[in-house]
Amino acid sequence: MTNSSRDMASLLEVDRLSVDYRLKGISLRAIDDVSFALRAGEAVALVGESGSGKTTTAMAIAGLLSPNARVSQGEVRYRGQRLPIDDDAAMRPHRWSETSVVFQGAMNALNPVHRIIKQIAEPCMLKLGMPKADAIGRARELLELVGIPADRGAAYPHELSGGMRQRVMIAMALACRPSIIIGDEPTTALDVITQAQILKLLAELRSRLNLALILITHDLSVVAETCDRVMIMYAGRIVEDGTVAEIFAKPKHPYTRLLIDSIPNPENGKKMIRPIPGDPPNLRSRPAGCAFHPRCPSAMGVCSTEVPVLDKFGRGRVACHLHRSSQEDKVAAHD
Ligand SMILES: Nc1ncnc2c1ncn2[C@@H]1O[C@H](COP(=O)(O)OP(=O)(O)OP(=O)(O)O)[C@@H](O)[C@H]1O
Ligand code: SF4
Ligand SMILES: [Mg+2]
């Protein structure tokens, strides 16, 4: 791990993590040499196009990798202790009590034939060993915490709106008092107003419970209000990491610039998302060198042969040959 990402006060450290998926006898690398640290109470967004490895990173941290995944390099530490992320049984005591995940599409995750109060009480009984009456009491408190009147606990999932169901998922994620919540596209299936309400709820819970938050999204425009820091992923690697203010005011990586340019901005007449030309690579055909080079407007000769290292740059990190330390003067001129 680089010095910039190591922090003695870190709650979570992801250290040079690589994960491969095995498909029909072939091993394909989904995330490659991913390193970052998260402090207690910090909110970080993980942003990138589809297939860039955001969910794989989240699942690795939470110990929820699919059976065909293999951790081929690196480790994850929680409060300095290495987590057994590739051992399902050994990971059981850690899951949901340290890091909890809120997925998109709450309807699929909730059991349609059980009342929601029962579904929230269940992890309290199973994980915290609470007697049923206490677990129901805790589930009522959790419902109130996420803005649902406790008496609505008698409802079945189909009787609630999409936003309410996502609030139930957040209540379940909080049941075992984790210190990290990962929201994997938690608002994607919701309308714009409900999206804003759920993001506001996550921000409130974060400050009330001192939760650290990893917010996974395709959509850079949602992170400004919710997060302190942004990490940009491309083809399984982190390519830029910086504060929200730095990333929006002075993006270093050409991909980050294009992501920001793609955000609609009615103030300057840009009403529609402007997609980045070209397609992200799939796992079988990752370009050599910088994986972004076939789409990069600033690509140089070296870009198709050498993988750029994620180096400290200013207060953040960037992986781009334009920003190698030896070239900082050239970059200053470029900016
Ligand atoms: N269980 C699996 N088996 C094989 N390949 C997988 C598996 N899960 C994910 N992948 C592949 O790994 C790569 C990274 O997937 P991942 O789901 O982490 O991306 P993502 O950034 O979360 O994308 P999205 O925005 O679409 O959710 C993709 O190419 C995906 O097809
Ligand atoms: S390393 Fe080269 S191709 Fe990759 S983002 Fe930087 S300039 Fe573009
Ligand atoms: Mg995903």
We report the CATH number of the domain holding residue 199 as 3.40.50.300
Indicate whether 246 and 183 sit together in one domain. Answer: yes
- Return the sign of the alpha-carbon dihedral for residues 119, 121, 124, 130: negative
- Tell whether 164 is covered by a domain: yes
**What pLDDT was estimated at residue 107?**
66
Structural domain total, the chain = 2
Indicate whether 16 and 40 sit together in one domain. Answer: yes
* Positions in the chain short of pLDDT 50: 1-7, 326-335
**What pLDDT was estimated at residue 333?**
42
Residues sharing a CB contact under 8 Å with residue 153, sequence separation 6 or more, in sequence order: 115, 116, 117, 120, 139, 140, 143
- Tell whether 262 is covered by a domain: yes
Full domain range(s) for residue 83? 3-98+178-286
Of the three residues 247, 271, 286, the one that is the final residue of a domain is: 286
Residue written as token pair 């083809």 = 235
Indicate whether 85 and 63 sit together in one domain. Answer: yes
**What pLDDT was estimated at residue 106?**
65
Ligand 2 lined by 313 (C-beta under 6 Å): no
- Tell whether 10 is covered by a domain: yes
Ligand 1 lined by 26 (C-beta under 6 Å): no
Quick count: other Cβ atoms within 10 Å of Cβ 193?
8
In the chain, % helix, strand, coil (3-state, to 5) comes to 40, 25, 35
Of the three residues 125, 142, 177, the one that is the final residue of a domain is: 177
Indicate whether 93 and 208 sit together in one domain. Answer: yes
- Tell whether 305 is covered by a domain: no
Of the three residues 286, 304, 325, the one that is the final residue of a domain is: 286
Indicate whether 39 and 124 sit together in one domain. Answer: no
Indicate whether 20 and 145 sit together in one domain. Answer: no
Indicate whether 94 and 200 sit together in one domain. Answer: yes
Q: What angle do CA 167, 120, 90 make, to 5 degrees?
A: 110
Indicate whether 214 and 267 sit together in one domain. Answer: yes
- Tell whether 318 is covered by a domain: no
Indicate whether 86 and 13 sit together in one domain. Answer: yes
What atom of ligand 1 comes closest to residue 185's alpha carbon?
27
- Tell whether 332 is covered by a domain: no
Hey, whose CA ends up nearest to atom 6 of ligand 2? 320
237 neighbors 51 (Cβ within 8 angstroms): no
Indicate whether 212 and 230 sit together in one domain. Answer: yes
**What pLDDT was estimated at residue 222?**
84
**What pLDDT was estimated at residue 127?**
86
- Tell whether 303 is covered by a domain: no
Hey, whose CA ends up nearest to atom 9 of ligand 1? 56
- Tell whether 302 is covered by a domain: no
Indicate whether 206 and 86 sit together in one domain. Answer: yes
**Strand-pair partners of 43:** 213
**What pLDDT was estimated at residue 332?**
45
Indicate whether 278 and 216 sit together in one domain. Answer: yes
Ligand 2 lined by 237 (C-beta under 6 Å): no
Centre of ligand 1 from the C-alpha of residue 189, in Å:
18
